[in-house]
Every structure is written in C-alpha cells, then in structure tokens.
Amino acid sequence: MRGSKVRTAIFPVAGLGTRFLPATKATPKELLPVIDRPLIQYAIDEARDAGIERMVFVNHPSKGAIQDYVLQNRTLSALLRERGKSSDAAMLETLALDREEDAVFAEQAEPLGLGHAVLCARPFVLDGPVAVILPDDLIIGQQGCLSEMIAAYDATTNGHLVAVMQVRPNEVSRYGILSVTGREGAMETANGMVEKPAPDVAPSRTAVVGRYVLDPSIFDALETQAPGAGGEIQLTDAIARGIASVGLAGFHFSGKRFDCGTKAGMLAATLRLASQRDEFSNVLDAFIAEARSPAREPVPAE
Ligand code: UTP
C-alpha cells in the first residue's frame, strides 16, 4: 500500500474507560488483553498492515503504561536474551514501535471528547488525509479494516470516509447514523449524520464504527467545534459540518466488529479469537459440552 495518500493514523487513547470499571481503574482500557494481546496491539497491527507511516497516540498523562507497552523496551529485551528467551525478545521487538521514527505521543490533558483528542494530534500528523482508529473497536476479518478502507479511499474518494455497518432498529440510538443517499458496492454516500438518534427518527440503520479516513480540513472544523452530546467535543459533529464542502461516504468493511469497550463485546471477541486457535479447542469444547449437559444444575428462578 506504499504511495497511499493516507500516511498518518491517530489513536485516541486518553479516555476514562468508565464502562469497564473496575478493570480500568489502574489498567488503561486499551491495554486490556483479548487472549494474549492488548487491544492497542491489534490496532497497531491493523495500521501497519495498511501501510501507515506515522502513528500518533493521543494519551492522558495518567496512562503512561500505554507508552511503556507501545515502544521498544531494550532493557527487557536484553534481560530476556540473557535468560535464554531470545524468541520472546524477538517477538516483543517485532510488535513494538520505535519512538520518533514511527510513533509519536501527543497529550490530551483532560478527556474533553473524541473530537478534542483528534485535534490534539494535529501538530504531529503528516501531510494529507488522516486515519483515526479507536482501539476498543476490534474488527476481526480476513483483511484489515483500515487496509480495505484506504484502498477504497485512494481509488475513489476524497473527503471523509467512515467505517459503517448495518445495525438493528433497537441499536441505532447507540451510534452515529448516516443519512444515506446511495450505495455502490461497499460504499454508501451520505448527506448527513445524526448522533445517537431515537429509532423512530433515525435516517437509516447504517451505523458509524471506530475507523475513519478524514480529509485534513477536519482539523480546522475541530478548532471551532462547540461541545455537543455529553458536553464533549464530538468528532461526528465536526465531520457532519464538513459534508457540504468535502463530502461523506460510509464504507462497509468485510470483517466483524466487536465493541471491546463493553464487557459483553470483550467476551464475544475473546470467544471469536479463541475459536480460531487450536490450542483452545479443548477448553471451548469442554465448556460447550458442560453447558449443554442435562445433568447441569437447574438455574433457580428469580
Ligand atoms: P470511548 O467513549 O469508547 O472511551 O472513546 P471512554 O470515554 O474511555 O470510555 P467510557 O465511555 O468511559 O467507558 C473511544 C476512544 O476514544 C478515546 C478513548 O480512550 C477510546 O480509545 N478518547 C475518548 C480519548 O482519547 N479522549 C476522550 O476525551 C474520549
């Protein structure tokens, strides 16, 4: 994917993670593991796979563990090698990023909203459109979601492109929903976007999830963006304001998205990935057999 217009990915990781308390009291949500890898690692791998040159992590000062995880730890590598664990050292070195070359840390001193977090990355982005990845939206599939989106963006689109999926009518109020004007293949054009509408007024069931490729005009829009829902500076509000000038499209990615900012989503993602690895088949088979067994203790009625 070399030569893409999209060279930078922004990772907003400065949020409070309140939906996952108490786990997130001392461990950032983005470091919670799905099996053996933290959420942030899946996001980094997806950006790498999409050919991203610079990754900008927008972090809160209290979440320094994210930086410790993302960057190389040469002391740990040396220690592992000394103890004969060279393959572990090599694995960590392959996963980690090198400061300045490809990873930059920006600070969001207060979690004022996703839009504000993206704005904090502005001084560090390379020329051209930027990708935004929310690490708590884990997308599992044959091809990386960002890679698919950037290929589509480079081929056909300018302006703003957002990852979308169809949701059920009773779910629209949890998402940004597009006002769809047309569809061609995986792309839907839109002339509006409504944040968390009630089901009876939702313009469609096309919901925005945590991958974006945004025209650089997004930063000027964010500079002047007033607080919206929840008193936060919303990224969707700034995207919506740019529709008239740069346009908006939704991209239906091929993978399956898991909302790992919630306990149920994290559990579902863990089961999905476990089911793809032979080493866990015994555990899963035993659990399923036990759950189906007639000898199981009946659950007492409430
Ligand atoms: P979420 O709204 O899912 O994360 O934002 P949150 O606010 O941490 O979680 P809850 O709602 O309290 O449980 C999606 C992503 O945007 C980041 C979060 O860290 C997460 O990765 N974010 C959110 C910021 O970086 N800054 C913010 O002000 C808000």
Tokens of 197: 């509408």
**In DSSP terms, which residues pair with 262 in a beta bridge?**
none
Ligand 1 atom, smallest distance to 20 CA: 13
Is the CB of 221 within 6 Å of ligand 1?
no
In degrees and rounded to multiples of 5, residue 147 shows phi and psi of -60, -45
Q: What are the pLDDT tens digits along the chain (302 aa)?
A: 457 899 999 999 999 999 999 999 999 999 999 999 999 999 999 999 999 999 999 999 999 999 999 999 999 999 999 999 999 999 999 999 987 668 999 999 999 999 999 999 999 999 999 999 999 999 999 999 999 999 999 998 779 999 999 999 999 999 999 999 999 999 999 999 988 899 999 999 999 999 999 999 999 999 999 998 889 999 999 999 999 999 999 999 999 999 999 999 999 999 999 999 999 999 999 999 998 887 666 666 66
Contacts (Cβ under 8 Å, ≥6 apart) of 260? 32, 34, 39, 136, 137, 138, 266, 269
Pocket test for ligand 1, best of 24, 60, 136 (most atoms within 8 A of CB): 136
Tokens of 128: 């051209």
Residue burial 223-241, b: 16+ Cβ < 10 Å; e: rest:
eebeebeeebbbbbbbbbb
10, 19, 31: residue to mutate for ligand 1 pocket, most atoms within 8 A of CB = 19
> Residue 296: its pLDDT value, please?
60
Query: How high is the pLDDT of residue 83?
Result: 97
Q: Is the CB of 271 under 6 A from ligand 1?
A: no
Name the helix (H) or strand (E) containing 148: helix 145-156
Q: Which of 114, 232, 257, 258 to mutate to test the pocket of ligand 1 (most atoms within 8 A of CB)?
A: 114
Task: Indicate whether residue 261 lines ligand 1 (CB < 6 A).
Answer: yes
How many A from CA of 19 to the centre of ligand 1? Answer: 10
Residue 14 main-chain phi, psi, to 5 deg: -100, 5
Ligand 1 centre from 113 Cα, in Å?
A: 7
In this structure, the residue with its CA closest to atom 16 of ligand 1 is: 12
